[in-house]
Amino acid sequence: MHMKKGILYFLLLLLILFIPTKTVDLIIDKEKINDKEEDLEWVENPSQDSTEVFEIPKITKPTNTSTSSGTNWWEYPNEIFTTKRDGNDLLVLVNKQYKLPSKYAPSDLVKASNSGIRRGENYSLRNILIADLTRLITDSKADGIDLSIVSGYRSYQTQVNTYNYWLNKNNNNVALVDTFSARPGHSQHQLGTVIDFSSNEIGDRLGDEFANTNANKWLINNAYKYGFVISFPKGYESITGYKFESWHYRYIGVEYAQEVVNSGQILELYLQGCNP
């Protein structure tokens, strides 16, 4: 028994150490290499962004992951396609069916702090949204609202890391993790146009408690005026494939955001219409 485990560790180590060009595709089972985690800093960030920070959201586990008949809302479809629009296109549909190429990274990443958002020095966002975000931050402050950023651009490689982290935390319960964490290539964060917001009202933590803040109420009423739309609204899990995330907003530009509001559709359905 011990021999077998020893051999397994050894093979895993060999794999990690000697096939570095393949790391992008590797899903490491950290459960089996727990005591070696310190030595296995295998993740590298190939993007130009060296300031990515991986925040850990505090979320409650969904209660209904053990149902049911037919397809479950968090499941990935059998057929996965590459996104129909380019990653730089503000209206590109990225979801559980359409994934970004692993090599895609935005070309205009800048520090989020250019907008004046608190904690922005730790994160990158696309320059294309900075002017509107600057207005958003200025106007929200004037209304007595505090907003901070707790996640922005995440590279494909960081998403590999993020998804594996959650698998590890949840005994490799894929069904559970798929309800709240995107698999690599499927994350909107790879676009560089997504912000996970927090506030000093909740100590800049990331997670469900954001829903009860004044900052959240302000965003619900105003975010679209600055081009931002919530991606995973409450009650639409079966359409988005994700648990409600009050903090996760995607920038699509002021005109399109206004169109989403006028249409009465959620972002996911609006973008499906733009990516037939």
CB of 196 to Zn ion, least distance (A): 4
Q: Which is nearer to Zn ion, 16 or 160 (CB)?
A: 160
Q: Is 250 in the site for Zn ion (CB under 5 A)?
A: no
Q: Is 237 in the site for Zn ion (CB under 5 A)?
A: no
Query: Least distance in Å: CB of 210 to Zn ion?
Result: 11
Spatial distance between the Cα atoms of 169 and 162, rounded to a whole number of angstroms: 11
Closest separation in Å from C-beta 212 to Zn ion: 18
- Decide: is 205 part of the binding site for Zn ion (CB under 5 A): no
The stretch near Zn ion (CB under 5 A) out of 81-89, 93-101, 157-165, 242-250 is: 242-250
**Sole binder of Zn ion in the list 126, 205, 248, 250 (CB under 5 A):** 248
Question: Could you say which of 49, 52, 55, 196 contacts Zn ion (CB under 5 A)?
Answer: 196
Nearest residue to Zn ion, using CB? 248
Nearer to Zn ion, 183 or 248 (CB): 248
Asked whether the beta carbons of 40 and 33 are under 8 A apart, the reply is yes
- Report the nearest approach of Zn ion to the CB of residue 151 (Å): 6
Strand 98-99, strand 124-126: pairing: unpaired
Judged by CB under 5 A, which stretch of 63-71, 176-184, 196-204, 262-270 contacts Zn ion? Answer: 196-204
Could you tell me if 274 and 93 are in contact, meaning their C-beta atoms sit under 8 angstroms apart?
A: yes
Phi, psi (degrees; rounded to nearest 5) at 150: -120, 0
Question: Going residue by residue from 153 to 192, which x/- string records binding to Zn ion, judged by CB under 5 A?
Answer: ----------------------------------------
Q: Which residue has the tokens 């590279």?
A: 155
* Strand, coil or helix: 181: coil
Establish if 99 lies at the interface with Zn ion (CB under 5 A): no
Closest CA to 241 of 94, 46, 89, 38: 94
Tokens of 74: 């968090």
Residue partners of 120: CB distance under 8 A and separation at least 6: 111, 112, 113, 114, 149
Residues near Zn ion (CB under 5 A), total: 2
Helix (H, G, I), strand (E, B) or coil at 152: coil
Q: What span, in angstroms and rounded, lies between the C-alpha atoms of 52 and 45?
A: 9
Query: Where does this chain bind Zn ion (CB under 5 A)?
Result: 196, 248
